[in-house]
Structure 1
């Protein structure tokens, strides 16, 4: 998994690319990027499968903020990004959400 950030010069926006590798996706049929940026809507940000078996999604996020997020594999397995900027305790269970800072 990885996060790549590309701030825009003309707007207070940062293009953030989220990647889940083939090994991390573990043969997933689908992966969704779910977080504060889409009100935790499990259908709002489906990730695209790449030829190498990885999954990617790019979002335009407002700068000067932090966003909690997780990946949802096959509609049932939640995982956090081990390369996130930091982590925050989830109030909905005994897990940590990944955090991206833009």
Structure 2
């Protein structure tokens, strides 16, 4: 017997912010976009805070922030896990 969920999973808007006043380019990359370094550019707001909103289906997603050619972790999110490169990725849980 196949059990299928009714309807579509409800998507949720998730807001990301990263403070980097001297940065030239900032991108959000993670398991939600196959770690693309170009798919989700963040937009600079006054004061040097970069922002990006994504609409995601429920699940757990690993991510990092790509700032001027260097990986950075999100200091506003304490959730993380080890990655295969000896570092850590942040985790966002969408419920």
Give the structure-1-normalised TM-score.
0.79
Q: Distance in 2 between matches of 1:26 and 1:87?
A: 24
Deviations 1:67-94 (A, max 9, x none): 00000001x2101112325111111x12
Q: 2:88 is matched with which residue: 64, 71, 96? A: 96
Q: 1:59 deviation in Å?
A: 0.2
Give ranges in structure 2 of 5+ residues lacking alignment. 1-8
Considering only CA atoms, is the larger Rg found in Structure 1 or Structure 2? Answer: 2
Give the structure-2-normalised TM-score.
0.84
RMSD between aligned residues = 1.6
Map of 2:72 onto structure 1 = 79
Q: Number of aligned residue pairs: give it.
A: 87
Pair 1:66-2:67 in alignment: no
Equivalences for residues 32-43 of structure 1 within 5 A: 32-43=27-38
Q: Distance in 2 between matches of 1:83 and 1:53?
A: 15
